[in-house]
């Protein structure tokens, strides 16, 4: 085995990279000889493909994939997975095509290798986008075959073991990615030992000085710890034997990164964290675990509020144990975990603990069912948005679940810490989330943004025709809720854009006394082809979003375009009522109201924006007459509009409250108020109000103008009014204005 010896390389701490000999010995203990021969053949193939390539450490490149396969062999994975680990860089780093792997080692191996392969052949705008797209591809491959992520985790684990060979900036970037993505994935899959190793290696690479300080301190404290834990172990073991409980007691060492995170979370000193001791009790059956818990609580008093039953309610990754914190000798906290042998095996090795691929039985275990359920949800997450958004969503979903809440029927839902009522609604079903209007928590009405706590019962109240509120995105924490809200609003926006675009195009065609039905299908298809669009809905959407101008499209649709505009007549105004939706908006620079003289400007991506004719920003838009639209108000629009008035007052105690009360007396809601101090004893109060129309606003202005401390009331025309351009930027409405809703100014 000269070949095997060539693969040996030193790891940090004097360990050696496992070579082919060690790998074949390990797999020979649980795989038949023919499968061992396939693995050896794959190693020879990989060595030939990577011939002449070296790692940054100077060792032959093939040493890395063989070491990754050895990590998976410790988990007793099947031959195809080990072969894929050996060949996982062949497609990416050598000229070997996927078809050759399929022919030589089978379709399963080729698909696994392809799932792990990065997308280096594609040109991305940035390194971050390339990483995110590679991660998206890998996770979607996981949905088809869970073994993809096991290969990737083994690859990352060995890379972290040899990370010291990398330059410092690259080392820190890889370490951060490991801590943010790969260690949480390992935890989500229940690969506890791999998760701990990735965390400690990532911590050492990212914060080497902090790592060294903590390691030295722990080394000093470890001697006293061992003596103390040995006495605890003996005391608990004798108590269990006395009560005829078949269980063994183990001590467990705390890992550096978990200590570091606890110090940050609790803002505690190292001495406070190191003085927390850990024990594990392994019993024969689940009912024995509860009996052992009683014995433990009889020996040491439990801390109130520190007991968790993960046997009755397992974590999302299938982890099961009883957790309790005890007051030990001299009040020293003792963290104890109680579980069965099977639970211990799953806790240490997770999904790999019962891996029997495509063999039934254990493959349908709770652990794999939970994992597949999580992975299938990734398909929904990746349908919309960029790769970077997808990566951020998955990061949010990776952190351990900590909140367990109930539906009214008693079903348990697991949600991330900080989850809100809206997150709960979407966890029940996407349609429930979309139609959610209110909620009851423990039978009491509560706001939708309420953060949920363990054990609460949540009832969602829905309404037909209700839709998600865009502001929900600001407080939901689950990726499912965030993406469902975004997806719904995008589809809603498209629907509204199509409807608006159709109206605008019909209006533009009406100038030529023509309707779209009068245009032949051949001409329609020719114009769609010219614009690169599939159908009329695409064209309507672009027009509604302002990315295509309806008058120009209308001219393209004419059978014979008139010379010098002949045949066209005055454009018909677009009728608006304020209820058109997302694609018709009202400018906040001038706050147009029903019956105001208005015009519309077509803004790319935003649709139609309505301005008042006297708006100071109109001057900028006059440079683009092709984007103007004539508009008119429909009668009695059924909604409230934002408007803004400026009230000049004499400073005195309580004047703001008095003015606000006067406005409220007109049945007007105040949306926002600001105060601007003037020279002397004067101030300007700027109120943003919710009103129905000009008549409603005129009544508010009349009531406030009559107040003794008010010297002047005016309506803002543009934001520039705040900077002192009063003559051009405000509109004064006298009492006589109120009866006539069509007045332009006072």
Q: Mark residue 607 as left, alpha or beta (left: phi above 0; alpha: psi -120 to 50; beta: remaining).
A: left
Q: Is 369 a catalytic residue?
A: no
% of residues, the chain, pLDDT over 90: 20
Question: What's the Cα-to-Cα distance from 234 to each of 229, 242, 251, 274, rounded to whole Å?
Answer: 9, 12, 11, 21
Mean pLDDT, residues 429-449 taken together: 89
In the chain, what are the domain boundaries? 2-208, 215-353, 368-479, 480-558, 641-737
Q: Mark residue 348 as left, alpha or beta (left: phi above 0; alpha: psi -120 to 50; beta: remaining).
A: alpha
pLDDT of residue 221: 67
pLDDT of residue 456: 87
Cβ contacts of 716 within 8 Å, gap of 6 or more? 590, 591, 644, 645, 646, 686, 722, 729, 730, 731
Task: State the CB neighbour count (10 A cutoff) for residue 570.
Answer: 7
Q: Round to whole Å and give the CA distance between 399 and 410.
A: 25
With cut-offs at 50, 70 and 90, classify the pLDDT of residue 226: confident
- Beta strand pairing status for 322-327 and 333-340? antiparallel
pLDDT of residue 639: 74
User: What architecture is the 2-208 domain classified under in CATH?
Assistant: Orthogonal Bundle (1.10)
In the predicted structure, residue 83 carries a pLDDT above the cut 90: yes
CATH class label, 215-353: alpha beta
Of residues 41, 74, 92, 309, which has the active-site annotation? 92
Q: Round to whole Å and give the CA distance between 738 and 705.
A: 13
27-31, 300-304, 732-736: the lowest-pLDDT one: 732-736
Q: In CATH, which of 3.40.50.10860, 3.40.50.460, 3.30.70.260, 3.30.465.10 is domain 641-737?
A: 3.30.70.260
Answer whether 682's CB lies under 8 Å from 649's CB: yes
Whats the size of the chain, residue-wise? 746
Question: What's the Cα-to-Cα distance from 476 to each of 344, 378, 415, 422, rounded to whole Å?
Answer: 34, 17, 11, 7
pLDDT of residue 269: 78
**Tokens 């939901």, residue located:** 476
pLDDT of residue 700: 94
Answer whether 689's CB lies under 8 Å from 671's CB: yes
Cβ contacts of 95 within 8 Å, gap of 6 or more? none
**Concatenated DSSP letters of 235-262:** HHHHHHHHTT--EEEEEEPPPHHHHHHH
pTM here? 0.53
**Concatenated DSSP letters of 302-341:** BPTT--EETTTS--TT----EEEEEE-GGG-EEEEEEEEH
Question: What's the Cα-to-Cα distance from 333 to each of 257, 279, 281, 324, rounded to whole Å?
Answer: 20, 11, 16, 10
Answer whether 310's CB lies under 8 Å from 319's CB: yes
Nearest to 647 by CA among 721, 710, 692: 710
Q: Which fold has domain 368-479?
A: Ubiquitin-like (UB roll) (3.10.20)
pLDDT of residue 4: 39
Question: What's the Cα-to-Cα distance from 686 to each of 296, 654, 657, 675, 719, rounded to whole Å?
Answer: 67, 16, 13, 6, 11
pLDDT of residue 703: 94
148-170 pLDDT per residue, tens: 888 889 999 999 999 988 888 88
Answer whether 445's CB lies under 8 Å from 421's CB: no
230-234, 598-602, 640-644, 699-703: the lowest-pLDDT one: 598-602
Mean pLDDT, residues 67-88 taken together: 90
With cut-offs at 50, 70 and 90, classify the pLDDT of residue 238: very high
Mean pLDDT, residues 523-541 taken together: 82
Answer whether 192's CB lies under 8 Å from 345's CB: no
pLDDT of residue 193: 84
Mean pLDDT over all residues of the chain? Answer: 77
Q: Round to whole Å and give the CA distance between 435 and 438.
A: 9
Tokens of 517: 């039905």
Three-state secondary structure along 672-723?
EEEEEECCCCEEEEEEEEEECCHHHHHHHHHHHHCCCCEEEEEEECCHHHHH
pLDDT of residue 742: 37
387-420 pLDDT per residue, tens: 555 555 555 555 545 677 888 887 778 787 788 9
167-187 pLDDT per residue, tens: 888 899 889 888 887 888 787
Same fold: 215-353 with 368-479: no
Q: Is 734 a catalytic residue?
A: no
121-125, 489-493, 571-575: the lowest-pLDDT one: 121-125
Tokens of 470: 């865009």
In the predicted structure, residue 275 carries a pLDDT above the cut 80: no
Q: Maximum Cα–Cα distance for the chain, whole Å?
A: 106
450-486 pLDDT per residue, tens: 999 877 889 999 988 788 887 787 788 887 888 888 7
Mean pLDDT, residues 335-358 taken together: 71
306-331 pLDDT per residue, tens: 888 888 888 766 788 999 988 888 77
Mean pLDDT, residues 696-725 taken together: 77
604-649 pLDDT per residue, tens: 656 678 888 888 777 766 667 666 777 878 776 667 888 999 999 9
% of residues, the chain, pLDDT over 70: 75
Nearest to 342 by CA among 370, 314, 369, 316: 314
Element (H, E) at 294: helix 286-299
Task: State the CB neighbour count (10 A cutoff) for residue 609.
Answer: 21
pLDDT of residue 165: 86
Rg (CA), the chain: 35
In the predicted structure, residue 118 carries a pLDDT above the cut 60: no
Mean pLDDT, residues 103-113 taken together: 89
Mean pLDDT, residues 682-695 taken together: 90
Q: Round to whole Å and give the CA distance between 122 and 336.
A: 50
Q: Round to whole Å and give the CA distance between 407 and 133.
A: 37
pLDDT of residue 514: 80
Phi, psi of 454 (to 5 degrees): -55, 140
In the predicted structure, residue 250 carries a pLDDT above the cut 70: yes
């Amino acid at each position: 085995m000269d070949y095997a010896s060539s693969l040996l390389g030193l790891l940090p701490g004097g360990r050696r990279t496992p070579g082919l000999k060690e790998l074949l010995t390990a797999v020979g203990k649980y795989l038949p000889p023919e499968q061992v021969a396939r693995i050896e053949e794959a190693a020879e193939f990989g060595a030939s493909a990577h011939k002449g390539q070296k790692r940054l450490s100077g060792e032959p490149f093939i040493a890395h994939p063989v070491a990754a396969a050895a990590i998976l062999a410790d988990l007793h994975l099947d031959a195809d997975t080990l072969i894929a680990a050996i060949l996982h860089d062949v497609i990416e780093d050598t000229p070997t095509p996927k078809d050759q792997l399929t022919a030589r080692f089978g379709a399963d191996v080729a698909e696994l290798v392809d799932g792990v392969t990065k997308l280096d052949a594609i040109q991305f705008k940035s390194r971050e986008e390339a990483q995110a797209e590679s991660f998206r591809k890998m996770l979607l491959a996981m949905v088809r075959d869970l073994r993809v992520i096991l290969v990737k985790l083994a690859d990352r684990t060995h890379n972290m073991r040899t990370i010291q060979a990398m330059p410092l900036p690259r080392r820190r970037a890889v370490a951060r990615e490991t801590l943010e993505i790969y260690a949480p994935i390992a935890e989500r899959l229940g690969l506890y030992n791999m998760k701990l190793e990735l965390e400690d290696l990532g911590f050492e690479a990212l914060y080497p000085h902090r790592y060294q300080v903590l390691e030295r301190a722990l080394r000093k404290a470890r001697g006293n710890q061992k003596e103390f834990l040995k006495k605890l172990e003996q005391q608990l073991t004798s108590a269990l034997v006395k009560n005829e409980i078949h269980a063994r007691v183990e001590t467990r060492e705390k890992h550096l990164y978990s200590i570091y995170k606890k110090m940050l979370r609790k803002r505690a000193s190292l001495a406070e964290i190191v003085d927390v001791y850990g024990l594990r009790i392994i019993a024969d059956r689940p009912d024995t675990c509860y009996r052992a818990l009683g014995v433990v609580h009889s020996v040491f008093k439990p801390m109130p509020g520190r007991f968790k039953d993960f046997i009755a309610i397992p974590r999302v990754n299938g982890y099961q144990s009883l957790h309790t914190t005890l007051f030990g000798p001299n009040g020293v906290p003792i963290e104890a975990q109680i579980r069965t042998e099977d639970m211990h095996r799953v806790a240490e090795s997770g999904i790999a603990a019962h891996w029997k691929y495509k063999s039934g039985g254990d493959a349908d275990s709770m652990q794999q069912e939970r994992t597949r359920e999580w992975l299938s949800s990734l398909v929904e997450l990746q349908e919309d948005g960029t790769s970077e958004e997808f990566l951020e969503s998955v990061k949010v979903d990776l952190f351990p679940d900590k909140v367990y809440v109930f539906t009214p029927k008693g079903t348990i839902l697991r949600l991330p810490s900080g989850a809100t009522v809206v997150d709960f609604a979407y966890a029940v079903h996407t349609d429930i989330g979309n139609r959610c209007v209110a909620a009851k928590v423990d039978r009491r009405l509560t706001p939708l943004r309420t953060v949920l706590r363990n054990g609460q019962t949540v009832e969602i109240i829905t309404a037909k025709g209700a839709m998600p509120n865009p502001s929900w995105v600001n407080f939901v924490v689950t990726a499912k809720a965030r993406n469902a809200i975004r997806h719904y609003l995008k589809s809603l926006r498209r629907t509204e854009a199509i409807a608006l675009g159709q109206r605008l195009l019909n209006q533009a065609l009406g100038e030529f006394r023509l309707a779209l039905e009068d245009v032949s299908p051949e001409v329609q298809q020719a114009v769609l082809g010219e614009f690169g669009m599939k159908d009329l809905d695409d064209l309507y959407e672009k027009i509604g979003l302002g990315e295509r101008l309806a008058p120009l499209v209308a001219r393209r649709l004419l059978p014979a375009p008139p010379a010098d505009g002949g045949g066209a007549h005055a454009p018909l105004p677009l009728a608006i009522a304020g209820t058109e939706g997302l694609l018709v908006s009202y400018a906040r620079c001038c706050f147009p109201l029903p019956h105001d003289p208005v015009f519309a400007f077509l803004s790319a991506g935003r649709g139609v924006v309505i301005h008042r004719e006297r708006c100071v920003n109109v001057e900028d838009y006059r440079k683009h007459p092709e984007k103007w639209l004539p508009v008119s108000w429909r009668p009695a629009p059924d909604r409230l509009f934002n408007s803004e008035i400026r009230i000049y007052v004499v400073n005195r105690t309580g004047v703001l409250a008095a003015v606000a009360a006067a406005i409220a007396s007109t049945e007007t809601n105040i949306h926002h108020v600001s105060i601007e101090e003037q020279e002397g004893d004067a101030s300007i109060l700027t109120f943003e109000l919710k009103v129905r129309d000009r008549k409603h606003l005129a009544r508010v202005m009349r009531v406030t103008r009559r107040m003794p401390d008010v010297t002047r009331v005016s309506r803002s025309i543009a934001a520039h009014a705040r900077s002192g351009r009063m003559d051009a930027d405000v509109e004064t409405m006298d009492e006589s204005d109120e009866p006539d809703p069509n007045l332009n100014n006072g």
